[in-house]
Amino acid sequence: MALVKPHGKKKKLMPLLLSGAALAKELKKAKTLKQLKISSRETSDLVMMGIGAFTPLTGFMGKKDWKGVCGKYKMADGTFWPIPITLSCDPAFGNSLKKNEEITLVDEESGEIMATMKVTEKYLMSKADKEFECKNVFRTLDMAEHPGVKKVMGQPEMNLAGPVKVVSEAHYPTQFKELYMTPAQTRKMFEEKGWSKIAAFQTRNPMHRSHEFLAKIAIETMDGCFIHQILGKLKEGDIPADVRAKAINTLMDKYFVKDSALQAGYPMEMRYAGPREALLHALFRQNFGCSHLIVGRDHAGVGDYYGPFDAQKIFDEIPAGSLETQPLKIDHTFYCFKCDGMASMRTCPHQKEDRLMLSGTKLRKMLSEGENVPDHFSRPEVLEILKAYYAGLTTKVEIKLHSHAEGTHTQK
Amino acid sequence: MALVKPHGKKKKLMPLLLSGAALAKELKKAKTLKQLKISSRETSDLVMMGIGAFTPLTGFMGKKDWKGVCGKYKMADGTFWPIPITLSCDPAFGNSLKKNEEITLVDEESGEIMATMKVTEKYLMSKADKEFECKNVFRTLDMAEHPGVKKVMGQPEMNLAGPVKVVSEAHYPTQFKELYMTPAQTRKMFEEKGWSKIAAFQTRNPMHRSHEFLAKIAIETMDGCFIHQILGKLKEGDIPADVRAKAINTLMDKYFVKDSALQAGYPMEMRYAGPREALLHALFRQNFGCSHLIVGRDHAGVGDYYGPFDAQKIFDEIPAGSLETQPLKIDHTFYCFKCDGMASMRTCPHQKEDRLMLSGTKLRKMLSEGENVPDHFSRPEVLEILKAYYAGLTTKVEIKLHSHAEGTHTQK
């Protein structure tokens, strides 16, 4: 059995990252071009294009692609795509550009040159356009509470489109040495193991028993599970990637059969677009070589914007054949005392009081206050790592408060 | 999504059971024909043909079909089939028949008329022929210990072939009122529930935690599980169907979400042919409408004749496209104290001493001697039913022994 083919008509990976002489030449040229500072989301999307994770994109989307993707999940050439990948700029900058002018894209945080881009199209994004995008992609216009809507509505009023040449992978390969892998690398790894039926497990959190259970259901019935964590920016309060990776490594070491699950990370930022983002998660997992994406309860959601299983249902709503990679849909999972083990709403017939359920908020409170988390919720080895992390946070906060009270040090 | 299509080129169920006026007419004629007494295995195969479970068979197999099935899993017309379905008779009887003579098939145990058959072919089965069959189907010639080999080698030396008209379902519909279902009925039931991805769980035993786990893995990822028990004759020491059904009903009632699993039975006898029988199990489950067959450790095996996963491997050895129904392969399952729940060799990295494993022999000994079975092995409600059954057996044996000792009653 072979791996799933990369997304798009050509069915092959299209990484846009230059190397060798081409890279040196492009970098030299980049220094001579007009520069546009881009957001961390745009930077991370460039890295996704660079490594071929966003195959078959050749650059940021033009107006027709943007509109088709928002309205009908389709780019102008008919390729399935669920969330627009766009680049915004101040109209003053855009208007200063000649037709087909090449520009340099610079990460606004690090100041690093990320790519060059031939601007083949510029289009204004009115408030109505942004609202059209948000309504379709996020299903809400709530700027105050939805982090994805806030970002889109806060973008400048013009989008630039055109092919890009990526010249950097930003901080990802160095900061996440152990985790960062390209689609070409994961495909090679899967092939070497003889895997073809692979379920990707998307995560932006450490894994507790319920997550372990999802991964293990996949392992019972497939070649293996690919635990794939997001390395891009998260919302406040989320556990940082290095702590998460340490917790997951420990879990895999103590509770998984060697080589039944593999861990890696990818350089993207969460949009918190729930169902639409689940589709994007499946799409780029296809590029990474995974035949399935585990889709549990409230996948890629935030707040109460999406029904708990909207991200499963959407796979039945898109045209058949849109993606080779399929969802592995699993219901809400938990430990049940009467079942005497892990179960889901599909397999446990018992009552609420028989089940151990903790909200993320409750768990964070317990961990940060050093309270004992109830048995069966998480592996003790994982909790130890998280407790240490929260203890560190608390210490920092206490020091800060202390300094403040004495008025002797500057707060940072 | 639609159900899998029935097996064979026509892709529709072909039940051979007559009804109404045709049945009455055939029964009348049957009384005037030469009669052949047939074994319980042959009777059960006739009922399988009667209800369409052996679609597309039209009767017992001729020599070309028999040879092709044994050697290459293929009938003369190219249809995939893994175990020969044949009818044997004494050569004296066979030789007395004219070409194309119709005969009546009578169950040797009940004396009931089961079918009429037009004998279009008769062929001798030498010892070498039987050995060819056993070597291919059972992978052994061990007559002393292998119940399937014993039956084939003990059959008379001639096979009769030809189309049958089935006139009875034997004792199955009355004795197993609650369980007996035809493929047309199960397909209708699945369609009414909107199911299409269905895993059949084959069983000839009551279900303990490890079996429950297999069924629940299927339920987590598919529309539902079809717990399908064999109603034909078993080997000595197996739990009778009514006790088994009661135990399974109790388990489903207490530990399964309503309607996530359905229970029924089918009128076939075990061959104990391991891998080959797993293929037959998948084939007729396709007729019953199941897209998958759960194949665990040592499926349909007996003794040590087959490697524990030969019945999984064989699905990769037959030509692609032989069956629509696919195996859901699951490794050896058990309760693990370190995992704190059910697991398999694919998901538990711990040691032998961390796992709770009991052989069937050990369990039977514990149950019949009233010993306590360790926690986590089986549900207490299931054990109660089995203990009551074994207690009844013990009582009978004691009474028998007692009567014998006193010499006052006839043993039965």
Q: How far is A276 from chain B (nearest CA, A)?
A: 22
Q: Are A402 and A318 within one domain? A: yes
In the residue annotation, B249 being an active-site residue is answered as no
The residue ranking higher by pLDDT, B242 or A84, is: A84
Indicate yes or no: CB of A257 within 8 angstroms of CB of B347.
yes
| Amino acid in position B334 | F
Number of separate domains in chain B: 2
- Asked whether residue A75 carries a pLDDT value surpassing 90, the answer given is yes
Q: Are B241 and B312 within one domain? A: yes
CATH number at B104 reads 3.10.400.10
CB contacts of B347 in chain A (<8 Å) are 216, 219-220, 256-257, 260
Q: Does A340 touch chain B (CB under 8 A)?
A: yes
CB contacts of B343 in chain A (<8 Å) are 216
- Supply the pLDDT for residue A398: 54
- Contact present, B354 and B336 (Cβ < 8 Å): yes
Residue A156 CA to residue A38 CA, distance in Å, equals 11
Q: Are B364 and B396 within one domain? A: yes
Q: Are A227 and A261 within one domain? A: yes
Q: Which chain A residue has its CA at the smallest distance from B217's CA?
A: A217
Residues 193-232 of A with CB under 8 A from B: 216-217, 219-221
Residue B373 CA to residue B367 CA, distance in Å, equals 7
Indicate yes or no: CB of B220 within 8 angstroms of CB of A346.
yes
Q: Are B255 and B360 within one domain? A: yes
Confidence of residue A395 (pLDDT cuts 50, 70, 90): low
Q: pLDDT digits over A326-366, tens only? A: 999 999 999 999 999 999 999 999 999 999 998 878 898 89
Greatest extent of chain A over all pairs of C-alpha atoms, in Å: 70
Q: In 10 A of CB B388, how many CB atoms?
A: 13
- Asked whether residue B411 carries a pLDDT value surpassing 60, the answer given is no
Q: Which of B127, B147, B170 is a domain's end point? A: B170
Strand pairing report for B326-329 and B333-336: unpaired
- CA torsion A353-A356-A361-A363 (nearest 10°) is 140
Indicate yes or no: CB of A256 within 8 angstroms of CB of B328.
no
Residues 32-71 of A with CB under 8 A from B: none
Q: How far is B293 from chain A (nearest CA, A)?
A: 12
B5 lies in a domain? Answer: no
Best A207, A209, A221 member to test B by mutation, with max B CBs in 10 Å, is A221
Confidence of residue A394 (pLDDT cuts 50, 70, 90): low
Supply the DSSP symbol for B38: E
Q: pLDDT digits over B185-239, tens only? A: 999 999 999 999 999 999 988 999 999 999 999 999 999 999 999 998 877 777 8
Q: Are B299 and B348 within one domain? A: yes
Q: Does B257 touch chain A (CB under 8 A)?
A: yes
This model of the complex carries an ipTM of 0.90
Q: Does B345 touch chain A (CB under 8 A)?
A: yes
- Supply the pLDDT for residue A72: 97
Indicate yes or no: CB of A221 within 8 angstroms of CB of B330.
yes
Q: Does A374 touch chain B (CB under 8 A)?
A: no
A138 lies in a domain? Answer: yes
**Cross-strand bridge partners of residue B38:** B107
B214 lies in a domain? Answer: yes
b/e code B101-115 from CB counts within 10 Å (16+ = b): ebbbbbbeeeeebbb
Q: Which of B258, B347, B376 sits opposite A260 (nearest CB)?
A: B347
Q: Which of B152, B170, B188 is a domain's end point? A: B170
The residue ranking higher by pLDDT, A288 or A401, is: A288
Indicate yes or no: CB of A221 within 8 angstroms of CB of B217.
yes
Q: How far is A136 from chain B (nearest CA, A)?
A: 27
- Supply the pLDDT for residue A407: 37
A13 lies in a domain? Answer: no
Residue A48 CA to residue A39 CA, distance in Å, equals 14
Residues 379-408 of B with CB under 8 A from A: none
Which burial class, exposed, middle or buried, applies to A48 when counting CB atoms under 10 A from its CB (0-12, 13-18, 19+)?
buried
Q: Are B121 and B199 within one domain? A: no
Indicate yes or no: CB of A254 within 8 angstroms of CB of B345.
no
- Supply the pLDDT for residue A233: 80
- Asked whether residue B394 carries a pLDDT value surpassing 90, the answer given is no
Indicate yes or no: CB of A221 within 8 angstroms of CB of B219.
no
User: Taking all residues of chain A, what is their mean pLDDT, rounded to a whole number?
Assistant: 93
Q: Are B81 and B112 within one domain? A: yes
Best A220, A381, A383 member to test B by mutation, with max B CBs in 10 Å, is A220
Active site residues of A: 204-205
b/e code A298-331 from CB counts within 10 Å (16+ = b): bbbbbeebbebbbbbebbeebeeebbbbbbbbbb
Indicate yes or no: CB of A254 within 8 angstroms of CB of B349.
yes
Q: Which of A170, A195, A222 is a domain's end point? A: A170
| Amino acid in position B292 | H
Please name the helix (run of DSSP H) or strand (run of DSSP E) that holds residue A21, with its range, or none: helix A20-30
Nearest residue to A200 via CA among A184, A182, A185, A214: A214
- Supply the pLDDT for residue B1: 80
CATH number at B279 reads 3.40.50.620
Confidence of residue A7 (pLDDT cuts 50, 70, 90): very high
Residue A248 CA to residue A266 CA, distance in Å, equals 15
CB contacts of B332 in chain A (<8 Å) are none
- Contact present, B269 and B44 (Cβ < 8 Å): yes
CB contacts of B254 in chain A (<8 Å) are 349
Q: Which of A220, A255, A339 sits opposite B339 (nearest CB)?
A: A255
Residue B242 CA to residue B77 CA, distance in Å, equals 40
Q: Are A106 and A207 within one domain? A: no
- Supply the pLDDT for residue A397: 54
B82 lies in a domain? Answer: yes
Q: Does B176 touch chain A (CB under 8 A)?
A: no
Q: Are A219 and A330 within one domain? A: yes
A8 lies in a domain? Answer: no
- Contact present, A161 and A119 (Cβ < 8 Å): yes
- Asked whether residue A111 carries a pLDDT value surpassing 50, the answer given is yes
Q: Which of B219, B341, B347 sits opposite A220 (nearest CB)?
A: B347
Q: Are B251 and B395 within one domain? A: yes
Q: Chains A, B: CB contacts under 8 A, how many?
A: 65
- Asked whether residue A410 carries a pLDDT value surpassing 80, the answer given is no
B199 lies in a domain? Answer: yes
Percentage of residues in chain B with pLDDT exceeding 90?
A: 87
Q: How far is B329 from chain A (nearest CA, A)?
A: 7
Q: Does B328 touch chain A (CB under 8 A)?
A: yes
Q: How far is A71 from chain B (nearest CA, A)?
A: 26
Q: How far is B295 from chain A (nearest CA, A)?
A: 11
pTM, entire model: 0.92
Q: Are A307 and A178 within one domain? A: yes
- Asked whether residue A409 carries a pLDDT value surpassing 50, the answer given is no
- Asked whether residue B406 carries a pLDDT value surpassing 80, the answer given is no
Confidence of residue A322 (pLDDT cuts 50, 70, 90): very high
- Supply the pLDDT for residue A411: 34
In the residue annotation, B204 being an active-site residue is answered as yes
Indicate yes or no: CB of A217 within 8 angstroms of CB of B221.
yes
B67 lies in a domain? Answer: yes
The domain of B138 spans 20-170
